[in-house]
Structure 1
Amino acid sequence: MITEHPMSQQERRTVSSLALLYSFRMLGLFMVLPLLALYAEGLEGVSPTAIGLALGIYGLSQALLQIPLGWLSDRIGRKPVIIGGLLVFALGSGLAAMADDIYGIIAGRALQGAGAIASTVMALAADLTRNEQRTKAMAVIGMSIGMSFALALILGPVLATAGGLSLVFWFTAVLALGGILIVVALVPTPPRGMQHDEVGLRGALLARSLANTHLLRLNFGVFCLHFVLMACFLVVPQLLRDVAGLGRDSHWQVYLPALALSLLGMVPLMILAERKGRLREVFLVAITLVVGALGLMASTPAPLAIYLGLWVFFIGFNYLEATLPSLVSKAVFPGGKGTALGVFSTCQFLGAFAGGAAGGWLLQTGGQSALFAACVALGGLWWLLSLPGFASVNLAASAPARD
């Protein structure tokens, strides 16, 4: 019989403050998604390829620096790395806010990504929580990311209507400085030397993680998911403007109901997966929803098809975004959770970069049809590769935890 242990007061403070910190940072990154394709059109040097690069470039710097900054936090402490990363993020936001051409925005977004603190924040959460509370802590922080995504799609267009891209980036800089205040005033400081082996990306564990076929499937999955997300937001704002006839200051009126209704759409999927034991089938259905939504928006140039496609897309995306980290935790070998999640995050950011950069190039050279076709093909490949990947995950989930 498993006894449920409640979180201590310090653990609750840790989780709530780190979730708030994560929300501030991801809100700033996500707000640009529904805006850049429309608001950057008048900038010097703009092209679909440049816009795609501006959207995704933060993912490249995130992916390159995530692991090194995690290692650095093992040596000098978590908080100095997090504060330094937030300062770099604020500087990048300011640079993008002052840019008068697309190249300045690309440089600012790259500098934003260089504040790569995701793995360090997760490591700090692990330092300050007990083993039996760690999964719950990671889940709460993960939920904050989903909430930030939803809020960003609504708040971004509202701010851009009031002050353009410049205001959005300045607001992002303020959020980063607010995150520093959270770290200093609210986040507990772990005792010196209190670091868990599982949160460091050690060489042997890294090699073992990269050799695990089940983890590789999940890493490829999160790469695909964020590739598609970035690529989609190169064309969806234009579809809402050109096909649905909505002014760019009204797009939030579509995103808000689509996101809200997507949460209702997730409920039957979660019930089937968790209570009915149909994880494999539901996971494949979620991928199908994402791919089907892309096909619908690409093949039917009508407002209703775009609205329906966005709703279906967000159902699948939100379910997969919440489920993939949990599957990584279940499939990982004992003692390797931190390493596996670090590699997983790196693949996520690489997907965001590739979706923006390659998506922009596809849009410029082959138009919207080429971009949608590439996303559908990538999603179909993910679906096929996911077919054999659940038996061992379920076995791992039922095995005793030894972190």
Structure 2
Amino acid sequence: MNSLEPIKPESDTAMPNVTDTKMKTMKALYYENFGGPEVLQIRDVPIPEPKDNEVLIKVEASHYSNGDAIARTGKTPWPLMQIPAKILMGIFKPKNRILGGEFSGTVEQVGQGVSKYKLGDRVFGFTDMQFGAHAEFVCLPETAPITHCPGEVSFEDAAAIGGSNAQTALHFVQTANIQPGDHVLINGASGGIGRVALQLAKHKGATVVGTCSAQNKELVLALGADEAIDYRTTDFTQQGKKYDVIIDCAGFLSWRKVEPVLTAKGKHLLAMFYISHLLKQRQTKGKGGKQQLCVLAPGSAEKLQMIGTLLASGGLKPVISKRFPMNKAIEAAALYDTNTQAGCIILLPQVWNEK
């Protein structure tokens, strides 16, 4: 089977619907200890029961992402978040035993106090620090960062765009106030946030340059970049070009390095940052010149609605590299760790295929 073709559930391989069978358990990607893919297992766990303000969602597709890898290992590459992350994820054992943040699915049950959603609604979004989406069902408050999924958008595409990644990219573009004709550089343009930020900047009418590895240059150009730079062989700060906006999705570029290549009122935005970046932000923000901005993007259903509209219109295109049925979820996690996939890895919790 071609890995880029969706797996079709068959009568003898599709998992039963909770409404039809009234089953009390579901399959989930579960772990009890921090570590590599070997700590993961497929386990039967209770189906969550929605409270008055919650919705139970049948997960049709979920996105195995960087957040899953961080949660599974219990380690974050962001120095400022190492202590908070341990508190949130667990000091010695994981607090949330089921992975999965970005997903799409169908509302299966609603609490008595829910007014925003009804049975059968198609939704997508992310679970934030609750995780739990790599399972047949996930239960969330109706106020969670989820929203309705347009009928024109497939469940796989809705999950692949990455509810967290997409709204973070949108927040970057809005914060930068990108205008038609602006020259924008996306550092890490082939990553989950970078792919969306690149497309959004082009949608705004900007000229976009993306940095990536040589193996991902064609992908970055296909997503609309005017130029793709191999960061291993070329330092964009030494090319003599100026940028109105630099969105740093890949690392911790220093102000000393990027300040010379910003235009007079250029902005440098970082997804991850050190204390030195925060201090430089305090010195530069709102002063009318070049700015360094450390951007935190809160979960927002409103931003996700905008993402859904762009998906439906073709203004955003997700990139899927491979799909896995539920019984191959551990293989999916191992593949993610190889860092060889140019696009998203999608899990299909409702599909059980032993082949």
TM category, shorter: under 0.3
Of Structure 1 and Structure 2, the greater helix share is in 1
Using CA pairs below 8 Å that are at least 6 residues apart, which structure has the higher relative contact order?
Answer: 1
TM-score, normalised via structure 1 length:
0.25
What is the TM-score of this pair, normalised by structure 2? Answer: 0.27
Where is the strand percentage greater, Structure 1 or Structure 2?
Answer: 2
